[in-house]
Amino acid sequence: MIIKRLQLYNFGIYAGDNSFDFSLEKPVVLIGGMNGRGKTTFLEAIVLSLYGSNSATYKESGYKTYGQYLRSLVNRDSWNQQTFIELTFIVNDGAPNEYTVHREWDSKKQRVSEKIDVLENGVYNEFLTNNWSMFVENIVPSALSSFYFFDGEKIAELALDESNTQLRESIRSMLGLNILDVLKNDLNKTLRKRSRQQTVSISKDSIEVLKQQQEELAKAVSDKESEIKALLSKIADIQGKIDHLQSNYESKGGKVIEQRAALIRDKAELSTSLEQIHAELLSLAAGELPLRMVKDLIQEIKLQAEDEHNELVMQQLIERIDDLLHDYLAKEQAGEEACKGFVDYIKQQNDASASMPIYQVSEFALFQLNSLLDGMLERAKQTTVDKIQRKKELQKKLGEIESHLSLDINEDELSRITVSIKKKQEELIAAQVKLNNANQELSSLRNNLNKKTMEVNNAVDSYLSEASVTDENARMDKYTHMALRILDAYSIEVQSRKSDVLASTITDCYHKLANKQRLIDRITVNPTTLEIAYLDHAGKQLYSNMLSAGEKQLMVISVLWALAICSKKKLPVIIDTPLSRLDSAHRASVVKNYFPNASDQTMILSTDSEIDRRYYELIKESVGDEFTLRYDEDSRSTTIVKGYFES
C-alpha cells in the first residue's frame, strides 16, 4: 500500500482546503512543523480515513460517542462547520488498484454522522462503500496499524515499560492472538451464565446422532463442491481445445468448404445475371443506341423533314383551295379572273420557296425522330452505362467467388479436424450435463444440510432450554474449559512457531541501528511468555536496566520494525516526532538505517530540532517529497507549503 494523496477540509487546525500530494519517487516523505502545527493531526487524519469508528485515535480519545469525536475534529473557525477528509492510496497485489475513501460530516447538525464514499480506480463502488470496514481490514488490519502508524512518545513509553507488557501485546497482535483473547473472554462469560432449571426432553445421544448426520451432509456438500470445481476446470480445458481446433479448422479453409455450396449457388446466380445484362446490352445495341453516334445527323434530318412536312401541308392546302374556288365560282359567278389570279399568286409563292424533297419522312417517322432527340437516346446511353457498371461489379464478385472455389484445400485433414471437434463437443456436452446434475445434487444437499442444521440447532436449543441448572453448568464447564485449554495450547503453538523468526528479525534490525555492536549479540523471544531477552556474545542475559535510554528506544524501534516485517504487509510507515528523546549518535543511526528501509513509503513528522540540517543531509538522497506545516497567527490555522523548513 502506498499513500498517493491526503486532502483535508476544515479538519482540526487545517482551515479550508489543504492537500498533500505525494510523488512516490523515493521512499521517504519529510513533513516538518513546530509543535502544535498539525503533525499529529496529519497522522490522525490518515488513521481516521482508514478505520473510522474502529480507529485507535477514536478509542483513545476519551469521547463517549463517535459523533462527539467527529465534532471535535471540525475547525473551530470554519464558517460552515463542514468537514471532510479524503485519502487516496494504491494497493499493488498483482495488478495495482487505486482506492479513494472520502469521509465528510457537518457539526452544525444536532447529531453528527459521517457520510462515506469509496472510489476504486476513480469510479464509485457501492459495495466497497457499504463494506469498507471489512475491506480495509484485509488491506491494513487495525491490529497491525500500531506497527506502522506511531509517534515518538509511544516509543518512549514502550522503552520505559520494564515489564514489556505493551511490547508483548504488540507481538500478540501481530500473531493474531488478540482475537483468541476476545474468544476466551466470551467463553469465560459463558461460564458465568446461569440458566433456568427445566426437565430434559431430548438426550445428548440424540443430539450427537443429529450432529453426525449434519457432519456427513457437510462432507457430502464439500465433496460435491470439489467435484463441481473439477468439472468446471475440465469444461474450461475442453472449451480451450475446441477453440484451438476451430481456429485451426478455419485457418485451413474449413469456412470455405462449409460455404462451397452457397458459393457455387452465388456463382450460378452471378453468371445468370451477367448473361442477362449481356443480352440487355445486345438489345440496346440492336435498338436506338447506335443512333447516339449520329445524333447531329439525326438533328439535321429532323429539321429537313419538318421543312418537307410543312411544304407538303402547303401543297395540300393549295389543292384544297382550287377545289373550293371551283365550287365558289359555280355558285356565286364572281369574277373568275380575279379569283384565279389570287390562287395563281399563292402557287407561285409556294413554288418559289419550295425545295426538292430529300427524305420524304412520314408523320410517324417524324414523331420518332422527335422522340429520339427529346431523350430516348440519352436514356439509352445512361441505361447502357449503368448496365456496364453493374456488369463490372458482378464480374468482380464472380472473380472473388472463383478465387475462393479455386483454393487448394486438404479436405481429408479438415475432415479429421471436424471429427476431433465433434468428439470434444460431445465431451463438453457430457461434462456440462454432469455439471448440471452435480449442481442440482449440490443444491439438494445444501437444502438437506440447512434442514439438518436447523434440526440440530432446534434440538440443541431444546436441550439447553430444558436441561437442569446442574447439567447445564456441568456441560458448559466441560466444553468451555476444554475450549479454553485448546485456545491456550493453540496460542502457545502459534507463539513457538513464530517466536524464533521474530527474534531473529528483531536482532537483525537492532544490529542495523545500534552503535555498540558488541553489547547485544542476540535477542530471543520466549515462545510461551513472549518475554524479550537480550544476550551478549557469551550468551549471558543483559537486563533492560543495563541499557541506556537511547538503547532502549532503539530496541523498541527494532521490535516495531521487526513486527512490521514479520506481518508481511507492505504498508507505509508514519512516525510522529520520532527522535525527540534520542541522543545525536542514535539519531544518526535511525536516520541513516531505519527511515530509508522501514517501508516502501516512510512519512516522518518532525520538528526542526529533530531532523535538522545535519540529519537532513544524511537522509536527503532517500527523500522524495518535502512539506512544511506553516501556522498563521491571524487565521489560527495551518497551511501546507513545499519544502522542508525551506530546506
For cell 543511526, what's the residue?
Answer: 589
pLDDT at 253: 66
pLDDT at 96: 83
Q: What is the pLDDT of residues 163-217, one digit of tens each?
A: 566 666 667 666 666 677 777 777 777 766 644 444 455 677 788 888 888 889 8
pLDDT of 84 higher than 90: yes
**In this predicted model, which residue has the larger pLDDT, 65 or 325?**
65
Q: State mean pLDDT over 424-453.
A: 89
Q: How many domains, in total, are found in the chain?
A: 4
> How much of the chain exceeds pLDDT 90, in percent?
12
The C-alpha cell at 572 is: 507505509
Of 134-143, 273-282, 363-372, least confident by mean pLDDT is 363-372
What whole-number distance in Å separates Cα of residue 432 and Cα of residue 303? 87
What whole-number distance in Å separates Cα of residue 557 and Cα of residue 580? 13
pLDDT at 62: 84
Q: What is the pLDDT of residues 512-524, one digit of tens each?
A: 877 666 678 888 8
pLDDT of 641 higher than 70: yes
Whether 397 and 528 share a structural domain: no
CB of 41 within 8 A of CB of 610?
Answer: no
Identity (one letter) of the amino acid at 287?
A: G
pLDDT of 7 higher than 90: yes
Distances (CA, A) of 210 to 198, 455, 474: 22, 8, 21
Whether 205 and 285 share a structural domain: no
Whether 104 and 8 share a structural domain: yes
What whole-number distance in Å separates Cα of residue 474 and Cα of residue 183? 20
DSSP-derived secondary structure for 515-550: S-TTT--EEEE-TTT--EEEE-TTS-EE-GGGS-HH
**Buried residues in 226-244 as b, exposed as e (16+ CB within 10 A):** eebeebeebbeebeeebee
Band of pLDDT at residue 75, cut at 50, 70 and 90? confident
Q: What is the pLDDT of residues 389-407, one digit of tens each?
A: 988 888 888 787 766 655 5
Q: State mean pLDDT over 222-239.
A: 90
Q: Tell whether 153 is covered by a domain.
A: no
Q: Tell whether 320 is covered by a domain.
A: yes
Whether 558 and 591 share a structural domain: no
**In this predicted model, which residue has the larger pLDDT, 545 or 44?**
44
Band of pLDDT at residue 608, cut at 50, 70 and 90? confident
- Tell me phi and psi for residue 348, to 5 degrees: -60, -45
Other CB atoms within 10 A of residue 580 CB? 18
**In this predicted model, which residue has the larger pLDDT, 299 or 50?**
50
Whether 509 and 534 share a structural domain: yes
Whether 324 and 373 share a structural domain: yes
Band of pLDDT at residue 561, cut at 50, 70 and 90? confident
CB of 198 within 8 A of CB of 465?
Answer: yes
CB of 618 within 8 A of CB of 592?
Answer: yes
Of 71-80, 343-352, 529-538, least confident by mean pLDDT is 343-352
Considering 19-28, 383-392, 395-404, 408-417, the range whose residues carry the highest mean pLDDT is 19-28
**Nearest in space to 2 (alpha carbons), one of 133, 86, 80, 96:** 96
Whether 293 and 363 share a structural domain: yes
pLDDT at 541: 78
Q: What is the pLDDT of residues 575-591, one digit of tens each?
A: 887 676 677 777 787 88
Q: State mean pLDDT over 375-386.
A: 76
Q: Tell whether 8 is covered by a domain.
A: yes
Q: What share of the chain is helix, strand, coil (3-state, %, to 5)?
A: 65, 15, 20
Q: State mean pLDDT over 260-266.
A: 70
* 491: CATH: 3.40.50
pLDDT at 195: 43
Q: State mean pLDDT over 309-332.
A: 67
CB of 579 within 8 A of CB of 587?
Answer: yes
The C-alpha cell at 91 is: 494497493
Single residue among 377, 405, 433 that ends a domain in this structure:
405
Distances (CA, A) of 330 to 161, 175, 323: 163, 149, 11
497: Cβ contacts below 8 Å, ≥ 6 apart = none
Considering 451-465, 536-550, 609-623, the range whose residues carry the highest mean pLDDT is 609-623
- Strands 123-124 and 149-151, by their bridges, are unpaired
Single residue among 416, 434, 467 that ends a domain in this structure:
467
Q: Tell whether 647 is covered by a domain.
A: yes
Whether 497 and 611 share a structural domain: no
**Nearest in space to 361 (alpha carbons), one of 316, 314, 307:** 307
**In this predicted model, which residue has the larger pLDDT, 61 or 146?**
61
Single residue among 519, 540, 567 that ends a domain in this structure:
567
Full strand arrangement of the beta sheet holding 149-151 = 149-151, 573-576, 602-606, 28-32, 623-632, 637-642
Whether 390 and 291 share a structural domain: yes
Containing structural domain, residue 218? 198-247+424-467
Whether 187 and 215 share a structural domain: no
> What one-character DSSP code corresponds to residue 52?
G
What whole-number distance in Å separates Cα of residue 497 and Cα of residue 491? 10
Q: Tell whether 150 is covered by a domain.
A: no
Q: What is the pLDDT of residues 467-479, one digit of tens each?
A: 555 566 666 677 7
pLDDT of 117 higher than 90: yes
Identity (one letter) of the amino acid at 246?
A: Q
SS3 114: coil
Whether 590 and 608 share a structural domain: yes
Q: What is the mean pLDDT of the chain?
A: 78
